[in-house]
Amino acid sequence: DDRVFEGLVARARVEVGCRRLDTLREALVLVDAGPYLPELDTAAIASRRRDLDELEAEARTDLARGLIEIGDPAAARDVIRAALRHDPVREDAWQLLMRAEDVLGGPEAVGRVLVECRDSLARAGLEPCANTLRTAERLRRVGIAASA
């Protein structure tokens, strides 16, 4: 139910730690069950779906951020990839993916994610913002320095 999903995401905003992550997971189970009112196709329903999609992307990026913070970059990567399937131009998700891949694969993995990000944004007629480029450069520079 869409209202339950919204309620869980709202509750997660005031929770901390593992409780927050559990609530976000619970919320995402609801949206993973399928789209909002799939049998209907009106302007109002389409608008509501867009709102729910945005909230879903927010929940997925929040969950991924929390997973990185608790030291589970592999799980974070999976969550971020799911968010990017829904919204491939969401740069905060690309930045989180860079952070997860930095831990998992080092500077080369960050570089691969940057290429993916650029390609994805280019398909929409966009370029990475300065913050995304700085994130990639910082992670690559720190990773290279750490391996030297």
DSSP state of 36: S
Q: What is the pLDDT of residue 148?
A: 45
Residue 66 to residues 18, 40, 57, 131, Cα–Cα distance (Å):
8, 35, 14, 20
Residue 126 confidence class, pLDDT cut points 50, 70, 90: very high
Residue 147 confidence class, pLDDT cut points 50, 70, 90: low
Shortest CA distance to 106 belongs to which of 66, 136, 79?
136
Shortest CA distance to 107 belongs to which of 148, 79, 78, 62?
148
User: What confidence tens digit (pLDDT) does each residue in 17-34 have?
Assistant: 999 999 999 999 999 988
Contacts of 91 (CB under 8 A, 6+ apart): 117, 121, 128, 129, 131, 132
**Of 20-24, 29-33, 83-87, 144-148, the least confident:** 144-148
* Rounded Cα gap, residues 108 and 114, in angstroms: 10
Global confidence as pTM? 0.88
